[in-house]
Structures are given as C-alpha cells and as structure tokens.
Amino acid sequence: MQKVVKQRMMALNGDEAVAWAVKQSNVDVVSAYPITPQTLIVERISEFVHNGEVDMEFIKVESEHSALSACVGAAAAGARAFTATAANGLQLMFEILYITASLRLPVVMVVVNRAPSGPINIHCDHNDTMGARDSGWIQIYTEDAQEAYDSTIQAFKISENPEVLLPTMVTLDGFFISHTLQNVSLLPDEVVHEFLGVRKVPKIKVPEIHGDKEVPLMLNPRYPLTFGPLDLFDYYFEHKRQQIEAMMRAYKVIEEVHREYAEISGRSYGDGFIEPYRIDDADVVVVGLGSTMGTTKTIVDELREEGKKVGSIRVRVFRPFPRERLKKVLCNFDAVGVLDRGISFGHYGQLYTDLCATLYGVKDAPAMIDFVYGLGGRDMPPKLLKKIFEEVLEARVKGPEPVFRIKGVR
C-alpha cells in the first residue's frame, strides 16, 4: 500500500477546486463557451493558460454545442480534453453528448448542476444532468468541493482506461458547492502527474484496412481511420452493445481508481459508488445525491442522539448505476426515503424510479417513498430534512403511501 502524501490545504470554492484539478491533470485541450450559465471553472483555467502556468490549448468557441464538438475533435486526435458547463449549456450540447460516448472518447466534463430554463434560473437542480442520464456518459455526483477536486482527477483515469473508453461527467451542486469556499486539500502536482500519466491511446486491429498492424485508435494520417460514419440497422446495434458492455466493465475500473486514489490521498467516498453513513443498525435510511447528503449526515447525528435508528446512503456514481450494491444494502431496512432534486414530469424523481427498478421482485425490499425537493435552488433546511426522516420512520407502521411527496414547495 502506498503512503498517503503530504498535501496543501487551500481555501477554494467548488469551481476553483475543479480548475485546480484540471490544472494538475496535464490536460491538453480545454474548450468552453463563456456565457451564463457558465462558471468560474473555465474562467480560472483561462487565467492559468494566460499566465503560462499550464501547457494547454484553450479553445474559445461560439456555443456549447461547439465546445463539446471541439473536445470530440481533440480527443479523437489523441488529446486529453476537458470542458465545463451547466444547465442550458449542457442542453445545447445534447447531440454531441451521445456522439462523444459512442465514439468512445474519454472526454471529462464538469457540470455545475443548475436548473434548466424556464423560467430562467441559475440555481441548484439536478434536472440538467438527469436529462443527460441516458447519453452514455459515466456520471459522478459529488458532495463538496473536495470531492469535486478528487473526482475530476479520478475521472480522467476512469475514462481513459482501455476497458472503459467512455466520457465522464462530474457534477457539483450549483452555489451549494460551486460558490461555497471551503477547505480543500490539493495533492502535489507531481503526484497527480504520476497518478494519471500522459493519455495513452489504445491500439486496435482493423485487418481489412491496416492488415496485421495494430494502429492507434485516433485520427492519424499515417494510419487513417474514420470515426462514426453512417451506421444503419446493420451494425449500429452492435456498436451500442459495445457501449453497454463498456459501462459494465466501468464498475470495476471506477472502484479500482477510487481505491488507488484513496491510498495516495487518504480520502475515500464509501466504496466509490455509494457512501453509507451510520447504517449498521439502522431501521430506516434516506438515499440521495449531492450536497444535501452532507446536511443529511448532521441530521442523522441529531436523530441518533434522540435514540432514533436512522442512517443515510449517498449515491455517488449514478451511471453506471450501483444496482447490485444498492440491492444488497437497501433490503436491510424497513423503509427508505429517496431524495430527488429532479423530477420526470408525469412520473417520479429519477433516483426513485431507478431504485424501484433495482428493487423490483427482490425479497425483503423496503417500503420506499420519493421526496422531490429543492428544484430551482430551493434550500433543503435541516428542519425539513428532519421532518422527512420522521415521515420515513412513520412509514414503518403506516406504510409508504403516498409514495410521491413534494417537499418545501408552497
């Protein structure tokens, strides 16, 4: 086991923490579009570039659609590429999200979770990245600025693993993390360099075109390859099957990268997929994503002091969904409250529906209630969270009905 390295404690907000992670990650190309709702992330990165602190190409483009397209081109040419966006910006990238994933390009994107318009809103909400849930990106939802920093570095290593080769989206809650300054421990530059290395382009065989020679999977005039041309019903499905399998292989890689990083940094987030908190003898738990789950820990502590057996589980990796882990752990409880900062109109919150699918037909599955909260940046006050725990405790006796409850709305 490696020794935990000495680190520098800084006072950074979530955006700045991500910018530092990118600075240390030997990124070759950053492309971004500077408009609201853009974030401080690319502003800080552009300062690093301007000051000559990094050897990086910063491409200013005319839209978010182009920002991700530029990353696609750069990554296809073998570069380590990064971009950042939020809310409507992510929505404008929608077409290219699918293309990035299907061309198996290990682009890393940090998304500051903000509510999609309209009406116009710039505050925290998970509906932006939930909309991108099915695009083929790995999704990691972080709880604070420290984790945003750690996860951004891990994302490059996960994405570039030849077993995976899928893009990763790291998200942080708008304002609650992005604009909140806190303690952030930074690894030394050389430690991050060693952890990530230079991006290695995998080699593939295409016998009909390049004979027995293994050629780099990139745009290279010496060994020409075409990325993603017309692919109709004859082979498109096979390419999708490859993506499905790559996501399945990502489980192991995400876990390994998380463990390897923990050995260097001394920081871990559960097993990398789910972060349980005081669940060992719990009767009920609350499950959720993002910064709210930090506040939830303080409420668990308070209720424990009152003698109530409660706990919490934060889902860190949302795609690939940690279904086996959750299936195993959730059956230990009588009732589960699910916190959704997003809503699929006409149905439930996204985390709740995924958990229902996970637990369907499972013996001893818990009673489960969906609590939709915090849309458009509406705060989750500790008092409301406490009330939610009370309702989940009550469901042990009264049952989960109604299973759909909207909290904090007038």
Partner 1 sequence: MSKRGWQEIPIAGIPFLESTEYHTGDWKVFRPVIDEQKCVKCGNCWMFCPDSAIEWDGESVPKPNYKYCKGCGICAEECPAKAIEMVR
Partner 2 sequence: MLEIRWHGRGGQGVWSASILLATAAIRTGKYAQSFPEFGPERTGAPVQAYNRIDDKPIVIHSNIYEPDIVIVIDPTLLENAKAILSGIEPGGHLLVNTPESPDQIRKKLEVPEGVRVWTVDATTIALEEMGRAITNTPMLGALLKAVPVVPLDAIKTVVRERWPGEVGEKNIRAIERALKEVKSG
What residues make contact with partner 1 under the rule CB under 8 A?
A: 102-105, 165, 204-209, 217, 225-229, 231, 234-235, 238-239, 241-242, 245-246
Residue of 320, 304, 322 lying closest to 312 (CA atoms)? 304
144 binds, among partner 1, partner 2, none (CB under 5 to 8 A by kind): partner 2
Q: Name the minimum Å distance from CB 303 to partner 2.
A: 15
80-96 as b/e: b if 16+ CB within 10 A: bbbbbbbbbbbbbbeeb
> Among 248, 239, 241, which Cα is nearest to 320's?
248
Q: How far is the CB of 228 from partner 1 (least distance, A)?
A: 4
- Which residues bind to partner 2, rule: CB under 8 A? 9-11, 122-123, 143-144, 173, 175-177, 179-183, 291-292, 294-295, 297-298, 377, 379-383, 385
Choosing among partner 2, partner 1, none, which partner's interface includes residue 235 (Cβ < 5 to 8 Å by kind)? partner 1
Closer CB to partner 1, residue 204 or residue 365? 204
State which residue, 49 or 181, has the beta carbon closest to partner 2: 181
SS (H, E, C) 10-33: EEEEHHHHHHHHHHHCCCCEEEEC
State the Cα–Cα distance between residues 79 and 159, nearest whole angstrom. 13
Q: Of 239 and 328, which has the nearer Cβ to partner 1?
A: 239
CB 235 to partner 1: min, Å: 7
Q: Which is nearer to partner 1, 35 or 209 (CB)?
A: 209
What is the nearest approach in angstroms of partner 1 to the Cβ of residue 137?
A: 15
Which partner, partner 2, partner 1, none, binds residue 379 by CB below 5 to 8 Å per kind? partner 2
Query: For residues 166 and 192, which CB has a smaller minimum distance to partner 1 in the complex?
Result: 166
Query: First CA to last CA across the chain, in angstroms?
Result: 53
Range 157-189 burial, b when 16+ CB lie within 10 A, else e = bbbbbeebbbbbbbbbbbbbbbbbeeebbbbee
To the nearest whole angstrom, how small is the minimum distance from the Cβ of residue 244 to partner 1?
A: 9
- Residue 351 near residue 130, CB atoms below 8 Å: no
Tell me the closest approach of the beta carbon of residue 381 to partner 2, in angstroms.
6
Looking at residue 131, its amino acid is G
Provide the β-strand partners of residue 285. Answer: 311, 336
CA–CA separation, 366 and 114 (whole Å): 31
Partner interacting with residue 259 (select from partner 2, partner 1, none; CB below 5-8 Å by kind): none
